[in-house]
Amino acid sequence: MIKYLKTVDEKCVGCMTCTAVCSKLYFKEDNPAKAAIQVQDLGAGKFHLVVCDQECRKCVAECPVQAISVAKNGAVMIDKKVCVGCLACVAVCPTGAMRYYPGLKHPFKCIACGQCAKQCPKGALELAEKEESPASRAWADAIAKVREE
Amino acid sequence: MSYGIKDFKLVSESRYTPGKVVRGYNMRTLHLDVSSRKATEKPVSETMKQKFVGGKGFGLKLLWDGTKPSTRWDSPENEIVIAMGPICGNTNYPGSGKSLVVSLSPMTGIPIDSNVGGYFGPYLKFSGFDALELQGKAPSETIVFIDGNEGVIRFYEAPTDLPRDTHLLAEVLTHAFAASDDPSDLQAVSVVSAGRGAEHSPMGLLNFSLYDKRRAGIRVKQAGRGGIGTVFRDKKLLALVCRYRGVEQDSNGAADPAAVQRIGLKLHREIVVNDDKQCKMRKQGTAHLMEVMNDYDLLPTKNHKYGQDPRGPEIASWVWEKLLSQNLPDGCWFGCTMACAHAVDKFELETGPYKGHKVCVDGPEYETAAGVGSNLYIYDPHGILEINFYCDTYGIDTISFGTTVGFLMECWEHGILTKERTDGIDLSWGNWKGACQILHDLAEGKRFGVLAGRGVKFLSEHFVKEYGADPQFMRDIALHGKGLEQSEYISKESLAQQGGYYLTNKGPQHDEAWLIFMDMVNNRIPTFENKAEALHYFPMFRTWFGLQGLCKLPWNDVEPADNAKWKEPNKVPEHVANYRELYTAITGEPLDWDGLIVQSERVYNFQRAFNIRQGRGHRAEDYPPYRAMGPVLEDEYEARAERYDKQMKEKIGVDPAGLSVKEKIRITREYRMKQYDSLVDAVYKRRGWTPDGCPTPEHLKAIGMDLPEVLEVVEARIAGKI
Ligand code: SF4
Ligand code: SF4
Ligand code: SF4
């Protein structure tokens, strides 16, 4: 099973509570550029929430030093002790959910901790679970093929 | 087979203060005297940094200072220098992990430079040194260990039962020298080694390892050209090991780390979006070129006699794509999303000492697939992979080997070689097992293997002396310049590329200029002056990668989507702008486009002067064998008769009607030789050289390479003293 942050764009009013919660929790400051979730203003009172789906795992496949792995709960996590800061993961992420901040040594992303969901006043976020899919296993399949038995 | 450090006899140890890279430099280099097993630090002066920049520049400068005009490749004072360059080691910009290796070459006798990936160079740099000099000869088999975190350099005597072929040796040493078996600790070790072949042949190479966490094994990249592995083994160096844990985004100490991130991410994104529509490097590596070259009559076939064969598609890119393991980030340094360093995994060998073993084959890259494939009329991918594997593990350059075996097979076809002369090896076109047998015999030190491994210059002269072969024919089909075998593109139909190959400092390697499409296909450089300009600009521009520790591939094997809109799309102007910005972001120094070219021009002219100092670097050495310029044989002419006849009519102004093929070959040859002559004149002039190919003192002054020792050499040459 994969734990992930489920988003409902229709319920989002752009209050930025989630970005504040996230950036304060992990960077000790209220700065949307340092939040793992992004709120995109589409105009006309509409918003789009961007956050890792924990399923595509393209970054896991791409990291040259295997600093990115899949945790027991299915969330995709970066090990900062191993990461060399190349930002390849940022480039391959199809949704822009893998984040970086200029000058910071490591990228960052949502780890499905759910703190933002607890405080979203509109219920636009919730922690949810989903099944593994072929895409979510592709990175591991590629490795299995080349490993000596 | 497993060893620990305790199994190696420690013979000397020295300590140093671990370094911190500031703005791309340590400002010191490391000299290792292999004879006395002593380590010495040397400071890098401001002048050295200004004039030589780094990488190949530092390598040549240290080699010049450490050797004499009388130094031969096997003189104790000959050096191997491994140097990195200021941009080397950053993890953000794809292609930033190259080491430049220089030495006096056993093939050419003059400086060779080879550009190689793998983790050794960047680790060495983060260990505190901008370059490493290896000088002297060890009294017994030696392993040098550099621990960049602790600041320790140790010389070990190697146990005699240690395997010497790279795929085993690098694996053993990685585990022996890693701090633990944790994959990150294993990844923190890189090994430089050669192989048994390098002990018996001047075309020995150096393998630079990288530990691949996904495969849980060793991968190797090659400093292939010019026999540096041979020098290494001659020094009784079995391996160099560097251990460094802790690479970070800013290990390179950039002046503006955020700018490095921004520029790097821009190219990462470009690669991710464009590569699949352009070169498919991420899936096929440089093997993507196979069918393109075959289609344009440029893929070496039967010792460069032809450029095409109907069987070409049997070794086309799509064949390799299926064989190469997919969906792995196969970069040769962290952060190279171009990731061309692919491998065929679990490949079962059919010949040699490792027959039946399942191995990981690094490659094949284009040069290998062409050189030991089509060039030998081998269209069996298995055969190509097997030769590829054994060349690497024995430490033999696939390009020199491919070109040499092509020559041997042609000699076989013409009856110059027979089974009696090859110790029973059948060298018919396409016989990959015969080619493998040469390699195995070479590794074992057996007669014909060793003879074959001496390269085409030696062999072409040897066959005249020993077997009475026709000297002109031998000279014509022995594809080498200055003693180095030509790499794997057909240059016959492109005058500019003949210059690109043979007007080089080290010998015919395509890393200076690749002008075939510009010249032959798109006709963008029609006049001698145009060609000379290209043969000035591109070699200078491409030299710059070697000064910085960069890979050439991300420059033009991916292009911005709108590249064609620029005035000179061949230069990929947007990427040149990236490089200039990157240089500034790391070093803090501004650099305009002209300044970039001048940095290279200084080192390029220094290298030419170096050749001259060694008593070489005359015009006569800058001429190709005729096979590289036009059709040597009648069937070679006839196979492209339409093209050659048309040229005769339109370009030479001679009506081919009624002429014999022999006559037509003669006329074509005369014409092409004259064309080449005019090209040399134009290029030398553009480069600021005399008609004999010597940089003039005025030119050296103009570019700021008027160091007294350099002026002394060129003045002596101009005065006819050397
Ligand atoms: S690539 Fe992006 S969306 Fe995919 S798992 Fe990684 S961070 Fe999440
Ligand atoms: S930035 Fe770090 S986590 Fe991302 S791919 Fe590079 S090394 Fe891996
Ligand atoms: S493009 Fe290929 S050779 Fe060049 S740095 Fe990247 S992986 Fe290495």
Q: Which long-range contacts (CB under 8 A, 24 or more apart) does B555-559 make?
A: B555/B95, B555/B579, B557/B278, B557/B279, B557/B281, B557/B286, B557/B338, B557/B340, B558/B267, B558/B270, B558/B271, B558/B274, B558/B275, B558/B278, B558/B279, B558/B281, B558/B338, B559/B274, B559/B278
* Contact check, Cβ <8 Å, B337/A91: yes
Residue nearest to atom 8 of ligand 3 (CA): B332
Tally of CB atoms within 10 A around B227: 31
Interface probe, candidates B185, B187, B274, B337, chain A, greatest A C-beta count within 10 A: B337
- Residue ranges in chain B modelled with pLDDT below 70: 1
Per-residue pLDDT tens for A95-135?
999 999 999 999 999 999 999 999 999 999 999 999 999 99
Q: Which residues of A touch B (CB under 8 A)?
A: 61-66, 82, 84-88, 90-92, 100, 102-103, 105-106, 138-139, 141-143, 145-148
* pLDDT interval class at A149 (50, 70, 90): low
* Contact check, Cβ <8 Å, B261/A103: yes
CA dihedral of B154, B155, B157, B163, whole degrees rounded to 10: 80
* Contact check, Cβ <8 Å, A88/B258: no
Q: Is B274 on the interface with A (CB under 8 A)?
A: no
Quote the CA–CA distance of B188 and B709 in Å, as a whole number: 40
Q: How far is B335 from chain A (nearest CA, A)?
A: 5
Which ipTM did the prediction report? Answer: 0.97
Residue nearest to atom 5 of ligand 3 (CA): B95
Per-residue pLDDT tens for B590-618?
999 999 999 999 999 999 999 999 999 99
B484-485 and B480-481 as β-strands: parallel, antiparallel, unpaired?
antiparallel
Do the Cβ atoms of B298 and B124 come closer than 8 Å? Answer: no
Do the Cβ atoms of B484 and B108 come closer than 8 Å? Answer: yes
Q: How far is A2 from chain B (nearest CA, A)?
A: 22
Amino acid at the residue B106: P
The pLDDT value recorded for residue B2 is 85
* Contact check, Cβ <8 Å, A63/B329: yes
State the fold for domain B495-558+592-718: 1.10.599
Position A142 pLDDT exceeds 80: yes
Ligand index nearest the alpha carbon of residue A92: 1
Q: Is B535 on the interface with A (CB under 8 A)?
A: no
Tokens of B594: 């002209």
Q: Is A134 helix (H, G, I), strand (E, B) or coil?
A: helix
Q: How far is B265 from chain A (nearest CA, A)?
A: 6
Tokens of B233: 């083994």
Interface probe, candidates B251, B272, B362, chain A, greatest A C-beta count within 10 A: B272
| B189 closest CA partner among B222, B156, B212, B160 | B212
Whether residue A67 has its Cβ less than 6 Å from ligand 2: yes
**Architecture label for domain B279-485:** Orthogonal Bundle (1.10)
Using a CB-CB distance cutoff of 8 angstroms, which residues of chain B are in contact with residue A107?
A: none
The pLDDT value recorded for residue B582 is 98
Q: How far is CA B178 from CA B3, B13, B147, B170, B251, in A?
A: 11, 18, 10, 12, 21
Chain A contacts in chain B segment 66-95 (CB below 8 A): 91-92
Q: Where are the beta strands (DSSP E) in B414-465?
A: none
Selecting from A63, A91, A141 the residue whose C-beta is nearest the C-beta of B272 gives: A91
Using a CB-CB distance cutoff of 8 angstroms, which residues of chain A are in contact with residue B335?
A: 64, 84, 86-88
What is the CA(B53)–ligand 2 centre distance, in A? Answer: 29
Residue B15 DSSP symbol: E
Per-residue pLDDT tens for A79-96?
999 999 999 999 999 999
Quote the CA–CA distance of B577 and B593 in Å, as a whole number: 8
* Contact check, Cβ <8 Å, B249/A106: yes
Residues 6+ apart with CB under 8 A from B443: B165, B195, B196, B197, B200, B353, B390, B394, B449
Selecting from A66, A82, A142 the residue whose C-beta is nearest the C-beta of B326 gives: A142
What is the CA(A77)–ligand 1 centre distance, in A? Answer: 10
| B320 closest CA partner among B295, B296, B290, B350 | B290
| A32 closest CA partner among A43, A18, A46 | A18
* Contact check, Cβ <8 Å, A148/B346: yes
Quote the CA–CA distance of B71 and B299 in Å, as a whole number: 38
Residue B301, φ and ψ in degrees, nearest 5: -135, 125
Do the Cβ atoms of B706 and B697 come closer than 8 Å? Answer: yes
Buried b (16+ CB within 10 A) or exposed e, B41-51: bbebeeebbeb
Selecting from A65, A87, A105 the residue whose C-beta is nearest the C-beta of B187 gives: A65
Beta-bridge partner residues of B116: B99
* Contact check, Cβ <8 Å, A85/B264: no
Quote the CA–CA distance of B636 and B665 in Å, as a whole number: 10
Among chain A residues, the shortest Cα distance to B271 is held by A91
Domains plus CATH for chain A? 2-146 (3.30.70.20)
The CATH code that applies to domain B21-243 is: 3.60.9.10
The pLDDT value recorded for residue B605 is 98
Domain coordinates in residue numbering, chain B: 21-243, 279-485, 495-558+592-718
Interface size, chain A vs chain B, as Cβ–Cβ contacts under 8 Å: 98
Residue nearest to atom 6 of ligand 2 (CA): A86
Whether residue A76 has its Cβ less than 6 Å from ligand 2: no
Ligand index nearest the alpha carbon of residue A95: 1
Per-residue pLDDT tens for A2-37?
999 999 999 999 999 999 999 999 999 999 999 999
Q: Is B250 on the interface with A (CB under 8 A)?
A: yes
Residue nearest to atom 3 of ligand 1 (CA): A52
DSSP string covering B359-405? EEEE---HHHHHHTTGGGT---HHHHHHHHHHHHHHTB-HHHHHHHH
Residues 6+ apart with CB under 8 A from B575: B267, B554, B555, B556, B559, B560
Position A148 pLDDT exceeds 80: no
Quote the CA–CA distance of B34 and B238 in Å, as a whole number: 11
Q: How far is CA B621 from CA A51, B300, B618, B691, in A?
A: 62, 23, 6, 13
Using a CB-CB distance cutoff of 8 angstroms, which residues of chain B are in contact with residue A91?
A: 265, 268-269, 271-272, 337
- Taking the mean position of all CA atoms in its chain, how far away is CA B101? 9
Tally of CB atoms within 10 A around B545: 25
Residue B39 DSSP symbol: E
Q: How far is CA B709 from CA B64, B131, B234, B613, in A?
A: 10, 22, 29, 10
Quote the CA–CA distance of B479 and B477 in Å, as a whole number: 6
Do the Cβ atoms of B398 and B369 come closer than 8 Å? Answer: no
What is the CA(B497)–ligand 3 centre distance, in A? Answer: 24
Quote the CA–CA distance of A73 and A91 in Å, as a whole number: 25
